[in-house]
A and B are shown apart, each in its own frame.
Chain A
């Protein structure tokens, strides 16, 4: 069965490739920092389950120290210049789009189709991780198609991947680190404390309770970086006791619209790094918060809409 283990193996090999290529990049004065950072990430993917918790914790802290002390540089792998890209684009024409569209297509077929395939009675891929397995498959197919169909040199994929990886830099670790912080918060029971605090602060009539719940969802989502972490806390702290029990609101409409109020918060916070900070790095924006700034007006208008909608429907 193809599952998470195979996906981590491919990821580990890719990061090991980045580490080795970085070590040999004399154009980057911080090449050893890059090599160590991506090398440790490779180690985590390849051997994370055998290292034990304490060694993994030390690994994380060393990676963060490398990044925090400015140990990462921008690699300069060999690539094509603007002129050659234009020429190549005209020569290859629509063929260029084939591998690009193969990524979502293979992912989609994988998610919808491969989960039903069985080999010798056992499922071919692990249904619980179908999206990750399919995404990996899509990436591998696209590299193969790109190398063969577009006649790119064999080592180019690793070097080009490293070029983009160095563009993102240490921000690449942010989403996973924020998820880890969320897990530590959960372990420490941060949620219930916040829920009690919020429940104690929010007093009032039916409409004030709706506003407190929606704003609480948006704000706590901004702190935690995702609405999934905020939903149980705010719903137990404000939603169920005040909107439902004290004022007789409908828990179904409340929960659905409350979650969407949380999504408005996701659009406005650097804590949702994979949606807000990583794209800024990928698109080489000078302002790390440019994507958040572009989203804030829509997010605030939608939050107001959600509060009004819930107030209008939850007590009918």
Chain B
């Protein structure tokens, strides 16, 4: 039971909003000590785990390219593209991106999106511009909410799209685990069971985005009616 002390530290530390990196290191050290390793062995185990996990941080290699394009005006270009479309709303634009992201992920093309590659440079500025061109200047709290919605769309569409692709990691993990338990299963049989949840995700999130649109235009157009400013 002592090995669960790390989990307790993580939950308490995150709840108390202590610096997350420090919480993780303390949790890792405690968990290691609880298994009977000495402090030097625990630090070495953490070091090995960190070194083996470097591939996760390779994603930051994208930042110089994104920053360079922002310097040249990419976000302004993305805004201008959307400002020219009269029928574009924040909700409709994000719904379209949701559909594209989910369909490409289902085909195994998970790299055609992402928070650093697509959301920050293109999708978030477009979603903001769609609101601005219809409803005027955005108050800061709504700008923040729109950005959070853009990030959420990328995640949800990815998670509930990729599992339809038969060669994705989670499907292969299930096949391997079940084989170890004596159950033979074809990846396709698993992938088919991902389709109902994928459709449900699209429906549920589509409805939420429509409601977000309504709340957005309500919040931003009421003050203008009250002040009598022209549309």
Chain A residues in the interface with B (C-beta under 8 A): 4, 7-8, 10-11, 14, 41, 44-45, 48-49, 51-61, 63-64, 67-68, 79-80, 84-90, 92-94, 96-97, 99-100, 103-104, 107-108, 111, 129, 131-132, 134-136, 138-139, 142-143, 146-147, 150, 152, 156-165, 168, 170-181, 183-185, 187-190, 193-194, 223, 227-228, 231-232, 235-236, 240, 251-253, 255-257, 259-260, 263, 266-267, 270-271, 273-280, 282-287, 290-291, 293-295, 297-299, 301-302, 305-306, 309
Q: What is the chain A residue whose CB lies nearest that of B140?
A: A286
User: Which of chain B's residues 163-188 have a Cβ closer than 8 Å to chain A?
Assistant: 163, 169-170, 173-174, 177-178, 181, 183, 185
Q: Which of A103, A266, A286, A298 contacts B65 (CB 8 A)?
A: A103
Shortest Cβ-Cβ A-B pairs, 10 listed:
A160-B67, A57-B47, A89-B73, A56-B47, A161-B64, A256-B193, A57-B43, A142-B65, A183-B49, A89-B76
In this complex, how many residues of chain B approach chain A with their Cβ under 8 Å: the count is 106
Would you give the shortest CB distance from B85 to chain A, in whole angstroms?
15
Find out whether the CB atom of A104 lies under 8 angstroms from the CB atom of B111: yes
- Knowing that A240-B181, A271-B14 touch, tell me 14 more A-B residue pairs with CB under 8 angstroms: A4-B55, A44-B51, A54-B40, A57-B42, A57-B45, A135-B61, A157-B65, A160-B64, A160-B71, A179-B56, A184-B28, A189-B3, A223-B11, A302-B160
Find out whether the CB atom of B19 lies under 8 angstroms from the CB atom of A67: yes
Q: For the complex, what is the distance from the CA of A79 to the CA of B223, rounded to whole Å?
A: 36
Chain B residues in the interface with A (C-beta under 8 A): 1, 3-4, 6-7, 10-11, 14, 19-22, 24-25, 27-28, 31-32, 34-35, 40, 42-77, 80, 109, 111-113, 115-122, 124, 144-145, 147-152, 154-156, 159-160, 163, 169-170, 173-174, 177-178, 181, 183, 185, 189-191, 193-194, 196-197, 200-201, 204-205, 208
Find out whether the CB atom of B73 lies under 8 angstroms from the CB atom of A189: no
Q: Which of A48, A61, A163, A185 contacts B54 (CB 8 A)?
A: A48
Q: What is the chain B residue whose CB lies nearest that of A86?
A: B76
Find out whether the CB atom of A305 lies under 8 angstroms from the CB atom of B52: no
Q: For the complex, what is the distance from the CA of A97 to the CA of B69, rounded to whole Å?
A: 9
Q: What is the chain B residue whose CB lies nearest that of A15?
A: B60
Would you give the shortest CB distance from A109 to chain B, in whole angstroms?
11
Q: Which of B7, B77, B124, B194 contacts A89 (CB 8 A)?
A: B77
Q: What is the chain B residue whose CB lies nearest that of A258?
A: B174
- Given A131-B111, A184-B28, A194-B4, are A156 and B71 neighbors across the interface (CB < 8 Å)? yes
Find out whether the CB atom of B57 lies under 8 angstroms from the CB atom of A184: no
Find out whether the CB atom of B10 lies under 8 angstroms from the CB atom of A271: yes
Contacts of A52 in B (CB 8 A): 44, 47
Contacts of B74 in A (CB 8 A): 89, 96-97, 100
Contacts of B50 in A (CB 8 A): 44, 56-57, 59-60, 176-177, 180
Find out whether the CB atom of A143 lies under 8 angstroms from the CB atom of B64: yes
How many residue pairs between the two chains, A and B, have CB atoms under 8 Å in the bound complex?
A: 399
Q: List 11 A-B contacts (CB under 8 A).
A: A56-B51, A85-B71, A129-B55, A142-B65, A143-B68, A150-B72, A160-B64, A187-B49, A259-B163, A294-B152, A302-B160
Q: For the complex, what is the distance from the CA of A295 to the CA of B208, rounded to whole Å?
A: 10
Q: For the complex, what is the distance from the CA of A185 to the CA of B119, rounded to whole Å?
A: 33
Q: Determine chain B's interface SS by DSSP, over half rule.
A: helix
Q: Which of A54, A111, A168 contacts B44 (CB 8 A)?
A: A54
Contacts of B154 in A (CB 8 A): 279
Find out whether the CB atom of B204 lies under 8 angstroms from the CB atom of A302: yes
Contacts of A283 in B (CB 8 A): 115, 119-120, 124, 147-148, 150-151
Find out whether the CB atom of B60 lies under 8 angstroms from the CB atom of A172: yes
Find out whether the CB atom of A188 lies under 8 angstroms from the CB atom of B21: no
Contacts of B208 in A (CB 8 A): 297-298
- Given A143-B68, A146-B65, A150-B72, are A108 and B152 neighbors across the interface (CB < 8 Å)? no
Find out whether the CB atom of B65 lies under 8 angstroms from the CB atom of A279: no
